[in-house]
Amino acid sequence: MENTIRKQIFELIDPKYQKFSAALIPNVDNVLGVRLPELRKIAKQIAKEDWRTYLEITESDYFEEIMLQGMVIGYIQADIDEQLSYVASFVPKIDNWSVCDSFCTGLKFTKEHRERVWEFLQPYLSSKNEYEVRFGVVMLLNYYIESDYIEKVLYLLDSTKHDGFYAKMAVAWALSICYVKFPALTLDYLKYSELDNFTYNKALQKITESHRVDMDAKILIRSMKRK
């Protein structure tokens, strides 16, 4: 099974895309160059077959093999405890923003199990591992920036402390989405936040880059920049 899947991946390698993709993901040197829609097709097929065996025996030598595992976990049909056990096994394999963000986007079962997944995410937000923190934050921004959770999300983002660039950028990104969806609440939060200067200013920058924020609001946000 594993050799067949690896063969499928290798047949889809695009050298031009490899150069483009590898340039976007610093510190990763095992990118083959397969486009994500192609990997999703393979993942959907695996999820219809013996996916448990696949997840047990699959190798993780290449970026695309790891990406594929994450996609399969998002597509499988299983009870929430089993799904989360596979998520927990996968998270330690995340070592770049691309796998992290794609994986989170695929975990759509979260919408039906918000409270259960919320509890599951808490330890990741206080992890010492940069990409575990990013995983937790990107899950928040994908599934929890809504009225029932927004105040708790802002509190968690403020208390998430990690010096890693990709952890901080995830917090800034999440805050920009909080602002777009809940501008007054997020603005009040930003005035009193305990964010470090880098994360705070990046959050302001991302808010001003949004097409969903009007010009007057952008002027106000720019005026809040810390020197």
CA distance 191 to 24: 33
- Alpha-carbon dihedral 27, 30, 35, 36, rounded to 10 degrees: -70
The pLDDT score that the predictor gives to residue 2 is 63
Exposure b/e, 94-111, CB count within 10 A at least 16 = b: bbbbbbbbbbbebbebbe
- Alpha-carbon dihedral 211, 217, 218, 221, rounded to 10 degrees: -130
Indicate whether 75 pLDDT > 90.
yes
184-204 residue pLDDT tens: 999 999 999 999 999 999 999
The pLDDT score that the predictor gives to residue 227 is 87
pLDDT confidence tier of residue 7, bands split at 50, 70 and 90? very high
138-172 residue pLDDT tens: 999 999 999 999 999 999 999 999 999 999 999 99
Write down the mean pLDDT value for the chain.
Answer: 96
Domains, in order of start, for the chain: 1-77 (no CATH), 99-227 (1.25.10.90)
Higher pLDDT, 38 or 227: 38
Q: How much is the average pLDDT of 60-84?
A: 97
The pLDDT score that the predictor gives to residue 26 is 84
Q: How much is the average pLDDT of 22-39?
A: 93
Q: Look up tokens 């901080």; give the residue.
A: 168
For the entire predicted model, the pTM comes to 0.95
